[in-house]
Chains A and B, each alone.
Chain A
Amino acid sequence: MSVESVSLGPARPLPPGHYGPIGQLRSEWTKMRTVRSTLWTLVATIIAVVGIGAVATAVTAARWRSGGIVDHIGFDPTARSLAGVFLGQIVIGVLGVLVMSAEYGTGTIRATLSAVPNRPLVLACKAAVFAVVAFVASEILTFGAFFLGQALLRGSTPYATITQPGVARAVAGAGLVLTVLGLFALGLATIIRHTAGALTAYVGLLLVLPLILQAFPVSFQHQVIKFMPLVIGEHMAATNPNVHAFGGGALLSPWIGFGFLCAYAAVVLVVGGILMHRRDA
């Protein structure tokens, strides 16, 4: 610990080049994997997506014979096994928020930006690392929920196979929706910079906005409901759009809806990046 015993040596000449995305991507990955909240939110996502999907399909299988014909009409085994995606959207949002808000909450952002003052670069790398982690986790979970759910349904009810029309799209698409919603949450946290505030905004936009919409005339609801993230997500995770139509309004096709979702995420991320560049850290 004696200062004299350790020579730091004279300041070295600078290496050629410039800091850049490769180092920053590595750094963001290290940051993400070295805090416990990442692991816990991922565990919560597993419980939400796979656990709820398993429970929903098991209950359906158990009650199928005693259920009336009404329950059987339009039964979508794919959507049933993806029932946990709804809660999964909230949990992945928590992860997206925390990845950014924890930097501000703990002051780590000052260390981060001292090392890499290019703030849009920091945001882009953070979002990219998050997107990869969220995408891999979400796809594993939606496919896991699908196969587990169909195994539980088989023998008791009609069930789906991945090769049936629309099924692979629903399962893979549900994972994509989770990923993009997580990015949306990350963007909100970049703008708001506080965990509680960002979570409130995220849950508000996801869940409360559709409720508020109910105060408006039905004709207006029908025009607007299809743009709600929650509706787009639910629609993506189903194979039969007619059955899952909300309030009777026409829906966007799954991929058009997904395009809107991506646009929402892009808007909040770009606004977040601009604010980050302009504001004091």
Chain B
Amino acid sequence: MIEAHSLTKRYGKTLAVDSLSFEVRPGQVTGFLGPNGSGKSTTMRVIMGLDLPDGGSAMINGRPYRDLPWPLHEVGALLEAKAIHPGRTAFNHLWMLAQTHGIRRSRVDEVLDLVGLSEVAGRRAGKFSLGMGQRLGIAAALLGDPSVLLFDEPVNGLDPEGILWVRTLLRHLAGEGRTIFVSSHLMSEMALTADHVVVIGRGRLIADRPVAELVAGSSRRFVKVRTPQAEVLTPVVVGAGGTVAPGTDGSLTVTGLSAEAIGDLAGEHGVRLHELTPLQASLEEAFMDLTRDSLEFGGHDVARTVTDGGAVASTAPGGTAR
């Protein structure tokens, strides 16, 4: 169980996390979604007791991180930034962590085996590929067999096989009743792994609900219509209370009317239809809708840049951000 109560974190003038409150419950995968720069990594570092909040608190199993008697037995985390000395072997990295908690050597071997690094346990971590480094980080997170696990963008930079492996692992861990909190800036990734999502934008909470509800609740239900008689159909649809927008491929996008109603109207008016497809906003679109609102809230003081992945990065200049 992870709880954040009015968590606030500033870096100089940047308000990275803005009175954020949420709960992460056991037995499911909770996605932590937000565009780049929205404060996900910061929130995770604060939960892990690494960065200190300027306001509010973060609790793990009811206690602040610094008060945990055996942190590795309660929480494990794969954070965004590397936390491994490149000159130390994989085994020794885990061993030095194990020793702080009196964890036995066989457990180190066990987690190395679990993540598939047994063969390279004696190799220095600096020689590891990105995927192997990620696996070593996951092994460290699992070392103390904790009930709460945090993963910050765990599939970033992994090949498809690695991505699938991480997804399967997350589902498996949640299935064992653990609390799994995993961040991503891609909704599509969460759609495949998460049961529940906490969505943030500019450090503020935007949504906290089951994935299914997030999609169903989206305002973006529409019908794609293709017809050679658009000039006849459009006024009819509008007259019946629908909204028509021309699509990019010559089709029409109709909102406010069901596919059945549109089909009936077309029949009544003798309009030929080549396509009539009810559509729901994809998760990605639902996410973009949510975060777009948050980005536009506050207007001109939000600088937006579209990164190569098409994700939206935002920077909130401080002071005005509240």
Chain A positions near chain B (C-beta within 8 angstroms): 1, 3-4, 6, 8-12, 14-15, 17-19, 23-24, 26-27, 30-31, 34-37, 102-103, 106-118, 278-281
Point out which of A6, A8, A15 has the most chain B C-beta atoms below 10 A from its C-beta. A8
User: Which listed residue (A8, A19, A109, A111) contacts B101, Cβ 8 A?
Assistant: A19
Closest B residue to A9 using CB positions: B145
Instruction: Assess A110 versus B83: contact at CB under 8 Å? Given A3-B169, A4-B172, A12-B73.
Output: yes
Contact B177 A11 (CB under 8 A): yes
Q: B230 interface residue, CB < 8 Å from A? A: no
Q: Are A8 and B142 closer than 8 Å at their CB atoms?
A: yes
A8 cross-chain contacts in B, Cβ below 8 A: 114, 142, 145, 173, 176
Task: Take A30-B96, A110-B81, A280-B50 as given contacts and tell me if A23 and B86 are in contact as well, using a CB distance cutoff of 8 Å.
Answer: no
Q: Mark B143-183, 1 if CB is under 8 A from A, else 0.
A: 00111000000000000000001001100110011100000
Cβ of B51 to closest chain A Cβ, rounded Å = 4
User: Is the beta-carbon distance between B177 and A23 smaller than 8 angstroms?
Assistant: no
User: Could you tell me if A1 and B116 are in contact, using CB atoms closer than 8 angstroms?
Assistant: yes
CB < 8 Å: which of B68, B79, B99, B165 contacts A3? Answer: B165
Q: Is the CB of B96 within 8 A of A107?
A: no
Q: Is the CB of A17 within 8 A of B87?
A: no
B113 CB-CB contact with A under 8 Å = yes
- Please name all residues of chain B whose beta carbon is closer than 8 Å to the beta carbon of A112 when the two chains form the complex: 97
Q: How far is the CA of A117 from the CA of B64 in the complex (A)?
A: 10
> What chain B residues lie within 8 Å of A117 (beta carbons)?
49, 65-66, 68, 71
Tally of B interface residues using CB under 8 Å: 54
Closest to B42 in A: A280
Q: Which of A3, A34, A107, A116 contacts B81 (CB 8 A)?
A: A107
Q: Which of A31, A116, A279 has the most CB of B within 10 A?
A: A31
B84 CB-CB contact with A under 8 Å: yes
Indicate if B45 sits at the interface (CB-CB under 8 A): yes
Question: Are A114 and B71 in touch, CB under 8 angstroms?
Answer: yes
Chain B residues near A37 (CB, 8 Å)?
A: 87
- Looking at B70, B74, B75, B79, the one whose CB has the most chain A CB atoms below 10 A away is B70
Q: Does B127 contact A (CB under 8 A)?
A: no
B95 within 8 A of A: yes
- CB 8 Å contact bits of B78-116 with A (1 = contact, 0 = none): 010111111111001101110111100000001001111
Whole-angstrom distance between the alpha carbons of A174 and B242 in the complex? 90
A102 touches B85 (CB 8 A): yes
| 17 A-B pairs with C-beta separation under 8 A | A1-B115, A3-B172, A4-B168, A8-B142, A10-B177, A11-B176, A14-B69, A19-B70, A27-B99, A27-B100, A30-B95, A31-B96, A34-B96, A108-B93, A110-B48, A111-B97, A114-B49
